[in-house]
A and B are shown apart, each in its own frame.
Chain A
Amino acid sequence: MRKVNIYICGVGGQGTMTLGLLLKQAGVLENMVVTGTETRGASQREGAVDSHVRFAVLEPGEEFDERKSIHSPLIPTRQADLYLSMELAETLRNIKYVSEDGIIIMNTFEIWPPTVRTGEAEYPSLEKVLENIKKFNKNVYVVNANKLSEERYGDYSGVNMIFLGIAMATGKIPVKVETVERVIRENMWDSEKSIEQFRLGLEEGKRILAEGPA
């Protein structure tokens, strides 16, 4: 049984919950064992939030074995095959989840916490963050999905779907692109626009992957 773990983190309000739930639904549609969890409640607003997405895939002819399946909604340390971070500094907070051969996609968009805005704390530079991430895993790809969305749509409304597209482009998520598009159609408010954003993300993902790690 192949276990696939996807970790998504960001700041409350960025849509990590939506991303996580869409991926889980896609997994359900493809008959996989699916579990995971999202940050809810007190830490939503402006706080650090995350989403755990876990799939267990039966190999052809393999029989289900409870003892070898996934059970915990939380990804065990060092077992995330794909580590998606929607905010620059947040990438580091739970970096212990990323596996040694996993892929990290980092959005370089910065959301300053109150302590940074008031000058009490310093916001780390991209170079510093990258340097620290690389102590854990060197397969790190950077993108500014917010800038992409702003250039295209005039605001940040597309960030989420663009990010989902990039994530799919890594090939680490064991669901079909069509399935994800179906889930987007069924769940998103302006689904045609969302699909367009998702496809933009797919292209962007292919581009940054071709460029190689940062």
Chain B
Amino acid sequence: MLGNEAMARGALEAGIGFASTYPGTPASEVGDALAEVAKELPGLVFQYSTNEYVALENAIGASWSGVRSLCTFKMVGMNVAADPMFTLAYSGVTPTGGLVIINGGDPSALSSTNEQDNRYYGLHARIPVVEPSSTQESKDFVVEAFNISEKYDVPVIVNSTARACHAVGVVELGELKDPPEEGYFEKNWGKYYNTLILAVQNHQKLINNQKKMIEEYAPVTELNRILPGDSKTGIITSGMSFNYTLEALDILGIYDVPILKLGLVYPLSPKQIADFASNLDQIVIMEELDPFLEGEIKKIAYDQGLEIPIRGKDLFPQTGELNTDIAVQVYAKVFDKTPPINMEELDMKVLESALILPQRTPSMCPGCPHRATYYAIKKAIEGKGYDVVWANDIGCYAMGALPPFNMGDLMTCMSAGESIAAGMSYKAKKQKMVAFIGDSTFLHTGIPGLLNAVWNNADLLLVIMDNRWTAMTGHQPTPSTGIDWSGEKAKAVNLRDIVAALGVEYVRVADPFNLKNAIAIFQDAMEREGVRVVISQQECVLQARRRARALIEERKKKGVVRYVDVNEDACIFCEECIKEFGCPAITVAEFEGEKVSHIDLSRCVECMVCKDLCKGCAITVTKVYPGTTILEEVK
């Protein structure tokens, strides 16, 4: 079971009646796993929400109706959800309606724009944070998080890093609990209406509940455990770092170090820390990213009069993901051992060998409509001498920043591109502003930004890259897809109507696969001033192909084959399709001693854009009929 699936399972064992999410790697599969089973659980309401604060607010509503609720998102999503989250902590939850937030962290920013450490949100909002190390704990801790939530009238954050989210392991399952069919909101003005003295009282209640939790729960919870040992140096760790610690000590042959493994990383029990430290000369803390535990433990050490050295970030890096190798190097130093591998030497050797390796960055798929959109814009501005600022955003289309398009000068957070470009347009007047945004990102938080640009007279072209799905995180539906989480037909919002309703006077819809037309639209849009929006509309090729699979199979069975090919005699090898368009399905071949373009049929999906851009008209689409020699050229 995947870590994310295990957390979803935990929520089901806790008997959740509501779950909401905005997808984001590394946490996407939690929601996807729930979406898969929700149909069979009549008491469970699941939704892909438009964004994280909407997701959390929905979960709050369900929790306040007395039903256990789950809300999941990636760590930057917590910034979006922070607004309701802080006040939620004041109001708390209900005795039967615990609320758990699953946060997917991303050390090394493998699929994010930063590597923020969300344990600080727990500290800041006074929300307990639990952190699993294994897939088993990923399930078990979610169940326990619901218990804590209800017992101490507070939401609970389950903080899982990308590595834990995507780790695969064996999970011993518990019983599933049926979700309640119905809830009821018991009115309580003082609890739910936060302002003035009511808010202050709720703040005090939150602090009191936390004190109680620190005194009676934190020292005894099974979320924390101690691996005993006689060494005078002790280790405190949690999450993935616990795994790296155990394996590193095994590699170094050290088995006598006492380890305090924290599952509840906030709040900590001063008593537990003091007891653990009582026989030690030194504490080493291993944790990823910021010195969060180190700071909390040093605070406790001061209050408890502990005068032993507490080491952490003086030994371990504060950026990037940690691993067993780093742990081996650090613990070898701490425990005066020789590591079995000289990492510096090995790294040098690896680096030298890797010199012959070509870089391999991810790229848009063959037939991706985003590639065609970027190409159309590139052609539209060719020779115009525009000085363009390309503001990009979060999604597959962010790869437009890579060659051969290089259309990405900045990328910040969901929907930031349009407003940053708008802000620039007031001052950087010699430059033209073009912002890209996906349909899902636009509907996430892009609407207020566009409205603001119209209202405040910005000067920018916003290109909505509408591929109908939240593609990069695994093809979750968006409000414009026309289906809900379960694949049932749902209301599909019309992006053009929304944009027009925001007051944008210049709205055009382009089909990037109709290259000539798309180029003309972008040419026109680039020449104008004010807020202009072009919706470049074409479904994600992976989804379109998935649906067409049956049709293609059927066609193949009949023996009808359609294929895109290069007429080698006509190919002038201008390399437009290779260097300017950059489709991964087009490669180089030799024909009669000359280089020609070649189409890799195992990868071509027949989007036929290359046929339209071919300068020598060498690319042809041919239909082959079975049992005949009829070859029909498709125009």
Please give the distance in Å from A188's CB to the nearest CB on chain B: 16
A121 touching B169 by the CB < 8 A rule? no
For chain A, the bracket of interface size reads 35 or more
Which residues on the B side are within 8 Å of A45 (C-beta)?
A: 362-365, 396
Give the CA-CA distance A93 to B360 in the complex, in Å. Answer: 10
Please give the distance in Å from A124's CB to the nearest CB on chain B: 4
Cβ of B472 < 8 Å from any Cβ of A?
yes
Cβ of B134 < 8 Å from any Cβ of A?
yes
B243 touching A71 by the CB < 8 A rule? yes
Give the CA-CA distance A74 to B325 in the complex, in Å. Answer: 10
A24 touching B110 by the CB < 8 A rule? no
Give the CA-CA distance A68 to B246 in the complex, in Å. Answer: 8
A74 touching B353 by the CB < 8 A rule? no
Give the CA-CA distance A47 to B249 in the complex, in Å. Answer: 34
Give the CA-CA distance A47 to B364 in the complex, in Å. Answer: 10
Q: Which of A24, A73, A89 counts the most chain B CB atoms within 10 A?
A: A73
Give the CA-CA distance A156 to B602 in the complex, in Å. Answer: 8
B168 touching A116 by the CB < 8 A rule? no
B247 touching A41 by the CB < 8 A rule? no
Which residues on the B side are within 8 Å of A114 (C-beta)?
A: 361, 363, 402-404, 582, 584
Cβ of B37 < 8 Å from any Cβ of A?
no
Besides the known contacts A46-B361, A96-B350, A116-B358, 9 further A-B residue pairs in the complex with CB atoms under 8 A apart:
A46-B584, A67-B249, A77-B341, A92-B354, A114-B402, A114-B403, A118-B578, A121-B358, A132-B356
Which residues on the A side are within 8 Å of B602 (C-beta)?
A: 155-156
B353 touching A95 by the CB < 8 A rule? yes
Give the CA-CA distance A117 to B598 in the complex, in Å. Answer: 11
Q: Which of A71, A74, A116, A118 counts the most chain B CB atoms within 10 A?
A: A71
A118 touching B582 by the CB < 8 A rule? yes
Please give the distance in Å from A212's CB to the nearest CB on chain B: 23
Give the CA-CA distance A128 to B325 in the complex, in Å. Answer: 28
Cβ of B588 < 8 Å from any Cβ of A?
yes
Cβ of B570 < 8 Å from any Cβ of A?
no
A37 touching B356 by the CB < 8 A rule? no
Give the CA-CA distance A119 to B579 in the complex, in Å. Answer: 8
- Of the A-B pairs whose beta carbons lie under 8 Å apart in the complex, a sample of 10, sorted by A's number, is A45-B362, A71-B134, A72-B243, A73-B243, A77-B325, A93-B357, A96-B350, A113-B361, A118-B575, A118-B582
Number of B residues with CB within 8 Å of any CB on chain A: 63
A95 touching B359 by the CB < 8 A rule? no
Give the CA-CA distance A90 to B357 in the complex, in Å. Answer: 8
Cβ of B25 < 8 Å from any Cβ of A?
yes
Give the CA-CA distance A99 to B46 in the complex, in Å. Answer: 46
Which residues on the A side are within 8 Å of B578 (C-beta)?
A: 117-118
B472 touching A42 by the CB < 8 A rule? yes
Please give the distance in Å from A162's CB to the nearest CB on chain B: 16
Cβ of B266 < 8 Å from any Cβ of A?
no
- One digit per residue, 1 when the CB lies within 8 angstroms of any chain B CB and 0 when it does not, for chain A 121-151 equals 1111000110011011000000000000000
- Identify B362's interface contact among A12, A123, A136, CB under 8 A: A12
Give the CA-CA distance A63 to B167 in the complex, in Å. Answer: 25
B167 touching A35 by the CB < 8 A rule? yes
Given contacts A46-B363, A124-B357, contact A74 B323 (CB under 8 A): yes
A77 touching B359 by the CB < 8 A rule? no
Q: Which of B227, B243, B251 counts the most chain A CB atoms within 10 A?
A: B243
- Identify A21's interface contact among B26, B168, B240, B324, CB under 8 A: B168
Give the CA-CA distance A93 to B351 in the complex, in Å. Answer: 9
Give the CA-CA distance A81 to B51 in the complex, in Å. Answer: 44
Cβ of B255 < 8 Å from any Cβ of A?
yes
Cβ of A204 < 8 Å from any Cβ of B?
no
Cβ of A38 < 8 Å from any Cβ of B?
yes
- One digit per residue, 1 when the CB lies within 8 angstroms of any chain B CB and 0 when it does not, for chain A 69-82 equals 11111101110000
Please give the distance in Å from B340's CB to the nearest CB on chain A: 8
B404 touching A70 by the CB < 8 A rule? no
Which residues on the A side are within 8 Å of B170 (C-beta)?
A: 28, 33-34
Give the CA-CA distance A152 to B362 in the complex, in Å. Answer: 30
